[in-house]
Amino acid sequence: MTTPRSSVTFIPSITRIMAVALAFLLPLFFVPFTSDAFDFNKRVLVMVVTIIGAFLWGAYTFVNREARITRTPWTVAVVALSASALLSLLISSPNRVSASLGIGGLYISLGVLFLIITSLVQKSFSMALMNALKMAGVIVALLTLIDTFGISLNRLIVSSFGVNATATTPFHTTGAPLFTLFFLSIVLVLVITHIVRSPKAKDTIASAIFGVIILVGALISFVSILPGKPNQPQFLSALNSWSVVTDVMKIPQTALFGVGTDSYKEAYTAFRPLAINQTPLWFVEFSNARDSILEILVTQGLLGGVALILLFVVTLKLLPKTKEEQLPLALGSVACLVILFFFPPNVLVMTLLVLFLSAWALDLKLKGTHTREHSLKFVATFNSGDEYNPNRAHFPLSLAHVIGVIICVIAAGTFVEIAQAYTAEVWFGRALIAANRGDAKALYQDTINAINLNPYIEGYHRSFAMTNLSIAQAIAQNQNASNQDKQNALTLIQQAIQQAKIATTLNQRDTANWQTLTSIYQSLIGAAQDADSWTIASMIQNVQVDPSNPQLRFNLASVYRSTGNTDQALRLFEQAVQLKPDYANAYYNMADIYQKKGDKQNQLVMLGQTLQTLPQSSPDYAKVQQEYNDLQQQIQADAAKQQAAQNAPTQAPAPTSTPRPTATPAAQTKNSVNLPSDAGLNQGTIPDVPKQ
């Protein structure tokens, strides 16, 4: 291999060290004073390492006057997966900034990181990678043991930082017991492989001790997620996941590019399978599919799904040709792929997979196997028997400078954006801590700071909207409030509506945004003119986003009923039971409406349906049964009276005045809050019940 200029020989070494450090830190890294202590911080860690690596790559290109890209058996698949994430983010994601900080940004970073490692590193780091993961595995396992049988680490974190966490919840630096099980299982594969291959008894004993510790930690994590346990994960079934895929594939754009990298929940709400409404999980809004392939087909379309399948195929194809020294990397890669085949993607497993494949590809390149020189004279690694040829493309000085500068500028600009977004997340985490200790002033100001730094995160606006509403309600409940206080409360209500509307503008497909706006409008009913109409309008928008959700139609029916529109309420209750035939509460509400209409026969039918769908163990069962029996007796008594009246002698009726219907008094609303006209929302059309 041609020796690079001495001035940049340290760059490949630094890149190698960063890859090993990332493997060690990733399962352990968390920051308790951000709103998401685990996944968000792990994604940012990967992004920052990638940015630093890209900057080093640009500097290497600039100083060494050459651009090198190594093409490996996995390059096409990894780059295609990252490219599909980028295209999905740009074309389909409703909120690109939020998606770039989510798993979409992770996929893009991992593709770039793979290219950097395989092209820039000039010395194998497979052994260092294995050792780093073993040490991290031992630490994770020991922390699991300590938290289970010793000190509650969550309690310690809560007392130290005041964060919003349950002290009795098990603590896992990976983010969840399931992720700890994944990580320790992967490391256990590496340990067992090392024990089998190691000729030294001393190394075997040390690895065996590590293996026992890791195995115990894995077993504890496994037991904690068994059915019936508090940490049991809830997964969308493969059949229902496939149902979402088929609906996404019916639309050309989403079939090709997906619905957006971080938008699986939005796809699920839009295409919710009706069958799930009759399961105990009917109220859950799933953010993941059953496995990685089914999820990426939805979020990144056929481009992403084919890329991931290609990654599986290439790895399994090379597995039989793996040399003994590359076996740990190969088995680690396979372990990651097996997890991804059965479970949704997560930052830890995806990153470990890329690190394993990078180290494996680098070993292939250094040994000169499965390589050939690309026609463009980039270093190429292919599945062929050609000898390794390290010839690299030499560009004119100006072109090399341009390429290096472009890479460095993009890296620096991306770093600034991520640093600003991360600072916003820290401010928002501080706001949540302030909320826990009841400091409304700090909560208000810290949320403003977060929004000013990153105004594109819907969660910030939702939280700020509810903060404004809560403060306004507190002022309104103060009987000694001054006129200025009342004016401040009005301003806060206007800000609450404005912030909730901003959230819906950032992402109109997220039900959480519409639910926030609905709750604000609903709290103003009786205090602000037209608040009931605005509530209905926002609820209709929510139903349009999640048309197969029976709960949303039930809630909308309840509001219509409270406004006196019982006919519309009845239609919506009927739609709710079409979506969920065992919806006892909807049947009972229909029975109540029929009672007020004086329709005893339909009331009896609805009470009967309520009894059929209500579990006998329910505390309401006896009450409904009594209502059903009483109504049945009334109907029988009315029928007997009617029969007796028909059989009685006919008498001339006494003269009476013509009865007139009693006018229903209008609802007396005290409109104490005068809001501008633009605070409201125009009503849309309630969508029909979707057909399976």
Q: For the residues of 621-635, what is the DSSP string, one character each?
A: HHHHHHHHHHHHHHH
What pLDDT score does 677 carry? 66
- Same domain? 15 vs 136: yes
The length of the chain, given as a count of residues: 692
The mean-pLDDT minimum among 375-379, 413-417, 452-456, 477-481 falls in 375-379
| Domain contains 33 | yes
Is 653 part of a structural domain of the chain?
Answer: no
Same domain, 541 and 574: no
d(CA 27, CA 30): 9
Which residue, 369, 386, 409, sits at the end of a domain?
Answer: 409
In a domain, 423, yes or no: no
Question: 316 versus 691: which is more confidently predicted?
Answer: 316
Which range (228-232, 253-257, 390-394) has the least confidence?
Answer: 390-394
Domain-ending residue, one of 592, 619, 635: 635
- What values do phi and psi take at 643, rounded to 5? -65, -40
Q: Over 60: is that where the pLDDT of 671 sits? A: no
**Full DSSP string of 39-96:** HHHHHHHHHHHHHHHHHHHHHHHHHHTB----B-TTHHHHHHHHHHHHHHHHHT-S-H
CATH of the domain at 567: 1.25.40.10
Are residues 325 and 258 part of one domain?
Answer: yes
Rounded to whole angstroms, how far apart are CA atoms 152 and 163? Answer: 15
Same domain, 572 and 522: no
Instruction: Please indicate, yes or no, whether residues 533 and 566 belong to a single structural domain of this protein.
Output: no
Q: How confident is the model at residue 436 (pLDDT cuts 50, 70, 90)?
A: confident
For the whole model, what pTM was predicted? 0.89
Residue pair 142/34 in contact by the 8 Å Cβ criterion: no
Give me Rg for the CA atoms of the chain.
31
* Mean confidence (pLDDT) of the chain: 87
pLDDT, tens digit (0-9, with 9 covering 90-100), for 403-424: 889 999 999 999 999 999 999 9
Four-CA torsion 574, 575, 580, 583, nearest 10 degrees: -40
| Shared-domain flag, residues 389 and 464 | no
Count the Cβ atoms, other than its own, within 10 Å of residue 528. Answer: 22
Tell me the per-residue pLDDT of 176-222, one tens digit each, with 9 for 90 and over.
Answer: 999 999 999 999 999 999 888 776 666 688 888 999 999 999 999 99
Across 452-477, average pLDDT? 95
Domain assignment present for 242: yes
pLDDT in tens, 594-641: 999 999 999 999 999 999 999 988 889 999 999 999 999 998 887 778
Q: Please determine, for residue 687, whether its predicted confidence score (pLDDT) is greater than 80.
A: yes
Q: Are residues 540 and 580 in the same domain?
A: no
Distance of alpha carbon 618 from alpha carbon 630, whole angstroms: 20
User: Which phi and psi (to 5°) does residue 369 adopt?
Assistant: -105, 155
The alpha carbon torsion through 226, 233, 106, 446 (nearest 10 deg) reads -120
Where does 94-200 have alpha helices with state H?
A: 96-100, 103-120, 126-149, 153-161, 177-197
Residues 536 and 594 reside in one and the same domain: no
Domain that holds residue 491: 457-548
How far, in Å, CA of 253 to CA of 541, rounded?
23
pLDDT at 665: 35
pLDDT (tens digit per residue) in 271-329: 999 999 999 999 999 999 999 999 999 999 999 999 999 999 999 999 998 888 899 99
Same domain, 486 and 611: no
Same domain, 539 and 578: no
Number of folded domains that form the chain: 3
pLDDT digits (tens, 9 = 90+) for 210-251: 999 999 999 999 999 999 888 889 999 999 999 999 999 999
HSE-CB at 126 with a 13 A cutoff on CA atoms is 25
Asked if residue 120 lies in contact with residue 53, where contact means CB atoms within 8 angstroms, the answer is yes
590, part of any domain: yes
Q: Say whether both 625 and 530 belong to one domain.
A: no
Question: How far apart, in Å, are the Cα atoms of 463 and each of 123, 329, 438, 441?
Answer: 49, 44, 15, 14
Q: Report the alpha-carbon distance of residue 350 to residue 50 in Å, rounded.
A: 14
* Domain final position from 635, 658, 680: 635
Q: What is the pLDDT of residues 8-51, one digit of tens each?
A: 788 999 999 999 999 999 999 999 889 899 999 999 999 999 99
Residue 47 belongs to a domain: yes
In-domain check, residue 644: no
Q: Are residues 485 and 582 in the same domain?
A: no
